[in-house]
Amino acid sequence: MDRNKVFSSLCYFSVFFAALLFPIVVYFIVDDNEVKTHAKKSIISHIIPFIASIILAGVFIGGAFLNTAEVVFPWILVSGMVIVTVISLAVTIYNIVQGIKVLID
C-alpha cells in the first residue's frame, strides 16, 4: 500500500484520535500535493463542528444575558444542540467515507 494513501486516509480518520493536530502535522511534513489536499479537506471538515458549537454557545450566552423569552429560549437551545449533534455525526460519517475511499482508490 502506498504511504501517501495511508497518510491521506489517516488525516480523515484522525477525527477519532487527533482531530486537528494530525492533519496539520501531515500538511507541513509531507511534500506530496495530493496528501496536502486531503489534509486541507480534513482540517476543514474537523473545524465545521467546532464552529457550530461556538455558534450554539453564542446563542446560549446571548439568551442567558437577554433573558427575554423564557419559554422560547429552551427550545432554541435544545434545537441548536440537536443541530450541532447532527452536524458532528454527518462530519464523522463523511470523514470515515473519505478515509475508506482514499484507501480503495
**CB burial class (10 A; 0-12, 13-18, 19+) of residue 93?**
exposed
Q: What is the pLDDT of residues 24-66, one digit of tens each?
A: 999 999 988 999 999 999 999 999 988 988 888 887 777 666 6
**Enclosing H/E stretch for 14:** none
Question: Which amino acid type is present at position 36?
Answer: K
Mean pLDDT over each residue of the chain, to the nearest integer: 85
Which of 3, 34, 16 minimizes the C-alpha distance to 95? 16
